[in-house]
Structure 1
Amino acid sequence: MMYDQTRAQQPAGEPRGRSERAASGPEPLLPSDERDKIALRLGHAINTFADTPHEALEEADAALDETSAQLVKALAERRRALRETWQEQDAETQSTELRLALRQYREITQRLLHL
């Protein structure tokens, strides 16, 4: 891993700028607290498998089910927001705004295809 001099010079806890977030990748589909909860459930299932395999598998199944439901919900919200950006525009809409919406559709679709 390379040393990031710019990041090292920033005080701890300082929020990253928009350009830095874009360089690090797309925004996660699920909020970090939701991801953490699900990861804890899955970790618990893995750690208890040796003692209670059936219960561990049920917990892992529930974690996958919750992840799927949260992703469907997050994707539906993003789709709704994207539709609003271009469907509510008038005939004078700038092509750059439409191009941005298309770019966001492409990003989300490609992320789903690479899961």
Structure 2
Amino acid sequence: MYDQTRAQQPSDQPPRRPEHHSTAPDALVSSDERDAVLTRLRMAINSFADTPHEALEEAEGAYDEAVAHLVEALAERRRVLHESWQDRDPGTGSEELRVALRQYREITQRLLRT
């Protein structure tokens, strides 16, 4: 006779999870650069009551610094991605090209979400 209780018990092995690459995107700005900008921004916020104009100038500087870091990081990411497929052997596999296309799509979508 078939043991129905066994069929109702959880599997002896943990469920298999589909293999994925890291779901968290790589940070565009290093943690040191991010921390430096956030420190500047906090200083601006904390000094606003005493020196509002200077605080706003500091906040604007933090903003400009953050933008500069992002522009540099995006330019470098583009350069690396471009080199991954450009000037390759015309026989470069479609899978390699598909990976490059997926990376372009992911970074572009990520930029548009923020």
| Shared fold per TM-score greater than 0.5 | yes
Alignment of 1:2-81 (within 5 A): 22-23=22-23, 25-81=24-80
The answer for the alignment partner of 1:106 in structure 2 is 105
4+ runs deviating over 6 angstroms? none
Percent identical residues: 62
Aligned equivalents of 2:33, 2:21: Cα separation in 1: 20
Compute the displacement of 1:53 (Å).
0.5
Who is 1:11 aligned against?
none
Q: String of CA shifts for 1:51-78, please: whole Å, max 9, x gaps.
A: 1110100000000001111111110111
SS in 2 for 1:22: coil
Segments of 5+ residues of structure 1 without an aligned counterpart are 1-18
TM-score between the two structures when normalised by the length of structure 1: 0.79
C-alpha root-mean-square deviation of aligned residues, in Å? Answer: 1.5
Distance in 1 (CA, whole Å) between partners of 2:20 and 2:27 is 15
Quick check: which has more Rg, 1 or 2?
2
Instruction: Flag structure 2 segments of 5+ consecutive residues without an equivalent.
Output: 1-18
| Structure 1 or 2: more helix by fraction | 1
**2-structure distance, mates of 1:69, 1:111:** 18
Change (3 A) 1:40 1:21: farther
- The TM-score normalised by the length of structure 2 is 0.79
User: What is the aligned length?
Assistant: 96
For residues 86 and 79 of structure 1, the distance between their equivalents in structure 2, rounded to whole angstroms, comes to 11
